[in-house]
Amino acid sequence: MNETTRPDAPLLEASGITKRFGPVVANEDVHLDLRAGEVHALVGENGAGKTTLMRMLFGMYQPDAGVIRVRGEERQFRRPQDAIDAQIGMVHQHFMLVPTFTVAENITLGAEPGGPGLYSKDRAKEAIAEPMRRLGVDIDPEAVTGRLSVATQQKIEIVKVLYRGARVLILDEPTAVLTPQETTELFELLRRLAAEGSAIVFISHKLGEVFAVADRITVLRRGRTVGTYDAAATDAAEVVAAMTGRSDVNLGRVERVVPEEQPPVLLVDAVSTEKPGHDAALDQVSFTVRAGEILGIAGVEGNGQTALAEALVGTLALTGGSVSISGTDVGGLDVAARRDHGLGYVPEDRHHEGLPINGTVLEAIAPCEVRKRTGLGVLASALSAKVRTTATGLVREYDIKAAGVDAVCSTLSGGNQQKIVVARELEEQPACLVLAQPTRGVDLGAIEYLYGRIAEATARGCAVLLVSADLDEILRLSDRVLVMYRGRVVAEKQTLDTTREELGMHMMGATTGGAA
């Protein structure tokens, strides 16, 4: 890159960018410019084109039309290394770290200071000292990465791109698994980098955080740039209207009438498990959820929330304690039997557990009808006209945007995929519904709709357990909140009497309290 070319030009500029995938237009005539010294937020609903645009800026895709300029000089990125050579770095939402490697090994991997494959512990330690100083962090180079906290691993990812010389940093949903305190610390680091002349692209759906850190905000809708706003001169309502084309989206608490003194539906008593490979073991977890109540489960990922959901639905065996639904002990029953006793489940990974991603909408909805049938003819009649009628009705009732029940699930947006899973579960009118990360990867419009249907279910008396890494979601929906830390319940709070910061302290294990 010619460093003398237009020193007053934006560090990075995308002009008239268009990208098509067959008949699908992902980006059309998109404009974005990044200035030295700013944090620039990029927002938009799912399918708005944010990811596609960033992948073009990082050389993972090539645009069909338009120009990318670095400091005024037109550039073509054929691969990520071309973007790295132009001082562009990207921190992906899902970290690209090797858990068994040390910090220094991860940071220098593929760019070893002694040359490819010539790793020297001392030279690596010396080489990463400067990017760590720039970021203002002090991480042991010899620490094993997989043993460090999520927040520390994210800092390692940022140091890694700084080590490669990045002046433009693209961060995709960087606060998705952080506590409020960790988020504040991250923002301080980003402001430090911006003050040194870097340009930060901050991609997020959390508008409160966008306004807390961004200087400017660019909104994409349906693949096009709607506008770029000075953060200090606009507000969340204007940005949401630009994102959705609507001015009536509710960003606050979901108002519900919670009946008092209802009987407990879900009773969890001293539940313990072995440690699953992906999460903490449960240790004497106890709580109740009453009819019509939403109980939120908060915590940094990896502290037992996933294990809890799996233990409740029957995919993770108990080593102690009991689980009861409407007075019946189901702890020793399999998944199907628990469903027969009124337990519904929306899993956190809809692609692998929630629906047949390469199957049709009809096939995704059919299980709620197939379960009602018995006998040898069940498979022959599984996709009968009655099932098709039921599925067609649910597509209409839940406003699922699909060409029809024969549409393939993978062709639908994340929000519409999630609507299918929620529709199937609510159609069975469960006594208790376990919701695990119910709106992850779902846009604002679909979130608002799903919240409304969940509220309707509680009005009918359904008890809801909401497991979410999104504290805003917990605070918008829940009546009570339990915080999990290292497999235990360490705090219980009434939602209206707590704050994100207080919950965040418990999530980090800084304070402890009583269980439910």
Name the residue ranges covered by the structural domains of the chain: 37-59+78-244, 255-342+428-516, 357-427
Q: 255-342+428-516: same fold as 37-59+78-244?
A: yes
What pLDDT is stored for residue 359 in this prediction? 92
- Nearest CA to 305 out of 176, 174, 436 is that of 436
Interval 357-412: pLDDT, tens: 999 999 998 886 666 655 445 555 555 777 888 889 999 888 888 888 999 998 88
* pLDDT averaged over every residue in the chain: 89
How far is 189 from 170, CA to CA, in rounded Å?
14
Contact call for residues 22 and 6 (beta carbons, < 8 A): no
505: its two tokens: 């302290």
DSSP structure class, residue 194: H
Q: For residue 21, count CB atoms less than 10 angstroms from its CB and return exposed for 0-12, middle for 13-18, buried for 19 or more.
A: exposed
361: its two tokens: 């909408």
104: its two tokens: 């220094």
What pLDDT is stored for residue 346 in this prediction? 94
Helix (H) or strand (E) holding 376: none
How far is 501 from 493, CA to CA, in rounded Å?
13
For residue 377, what are the contacts with CB-CB under 8 A and spacing of at least 6?
none
- DSSP states along 242-272: HHHS-S----S-------SSPPEEEEEEEEE
Q: For residue 82, count CB atoms less than 10 angstroms from its CB and return exposed for 0-12, middle for 13-18, buried for 19 or more.
A: middle
How far is 273 from 135, CA to CA, in rounded Å?
40
Can you state the angle between helices 121-135 and 180-195, rounded to 10 degrees?
90
What pLDDT is stored for residue 213 in this prediction? 96
- Nearest CA to 310 out of 323, 300, 299 is that of 323
Domain 37-59+78-244 in CATH: superfamily? P-loop containing nucleotide triphosphate hydrolases (3.40.50.300)
What pLDDT is stored for residue 4 in this prediction? 45
3-state helix, strand, coil in the chain (%, to 5): 35, 25, 40
Distance from the first to the final alpha carbon of the chain:
60
Q: Which fold has domain 255-342+428-516?
A: Rossmann fold (3.40.50)
Amino acid at 434: V
What pLDDT is stored for residue 98 in this prediction? 94
CA atoms within 13 A on the CB side of 411: 15
Query: Each residue's pLDDT tens digit in the chain (516 positions)?
Result: 444 455 578 999 999 999 998 888 999 999 999 999 999 999 998 778 898 999 999 999 999 999 999 999 999 999 999 999 999 999 987 788 999 999 999 999 988 987 777 788 999 999 999 999 999 899 999 999 988 888 899 999 999 999 999 999 999 888 877 888 888 999 999 999 999 999 999 998 889 899 999 999 999 998 999 999 999 999 999 999 999 898 888 888 998 887 777 899 999 999 999 998 778 999 999 999 999 999 999 998 889 999 999 999 999 999 999 999 999 999 999 999 999 999 999 998 888 888 999 999 999 988 866 666 554 455 555 557 778 888 899 998 888 888 889 999 988 877 788 889 998 999 889 999 999 988 877 777 778 888 999 999 999 999 999 999 889 899 999 999 999 999 999 999 999 999 999 999 999 887 644 444
For residue 251, what are the contacts with CB-CB under 8 A and spacing of at least 6?
207, 236, 237, 240
What pLDDT is stored for residue 370 in this prediction? 65
User: Which residues are registered as beta bridge partners of 508?
Assistant: none
Contact call for residues 211 and 409 (beta carbons, < 8 A): no
Helix, strand or coil, per DSSP, at residue 237: helix
What pLDDT is stored for residue 203 in this prediction? 93
